[in-house]
Amino acid sequence: MSVRKDKEKLKPGERNEIMSALGLFTHIGLTMVICIIGCIFIGIFLDNLLDTGSLFMFIFIVLGVASAFWSAYKIIIKSMK
């Protein structure tokens, strides 16, 4: 069941723009999540290996967030070209 009426259908180029924007947002989101979670696991692994409490986890959380934003920035700049 469609919410739009016949007169309000998407133009051929609009659907492509919407799907392209959705793909870009998905790419940015997944990249950020993978960077942060990956760094958290590395930090936990090093903490367990070296018996350092939570030191490396906090260090790698900061590195993961920084790398996530840097990767998102590069994706956005690349998509604007």
Whether residue 3 has pLDDT greater than 60 = no
Residue 15 lies inside a defined structural domain of this protein: no
Please compute the mean of the pLDDT values over residues 52-65 and round it to a whole number.
96
Residue 73 lies inside a defined structural domain of this protein: yes
Instruction: Provide the pLDDT for residue 49.
Output: 96
Q: Give residue-wise pLDDT tens across range 37-48.
A: 999 999 999 999
- Binned at pLDDT 50, 70 and 90, residue 9 comes out as confident
Contact 57, 40 (CB under 8 A): yes
Domain of residue 55, residue span: 24-80
Instruction: Provide the pLDDT for residue 50.
Output: 96
Residue 17 lies inside a defined structural domain of this protein: no
Rounded to 10 deg, the angle between the 12-50 and 55-80 helix axes is 160
Burial (Cβ within 10 Å: 0-12, 13-18, ≥19) of residue 4? exposed
Contact 32, 69 (CB under 8 A): yes
Residue 30 lies inside a defined structural domain of this protein: yes
Instruction: Provide the pLDDT for residue 53.
Output: 93
Residue 55 lies inside a defined structural domain of this protein: yes
Residue 59 lies inside a defined structural domain of this protein: yes
Residue 8 lies inside a defined structural domain of this protein: no
Residue 18 lies inside a defined structural domain of this protein: no
CA distance linking residue 61 with residue 36, whole number of Å = 6
Domain count, the chain: 1
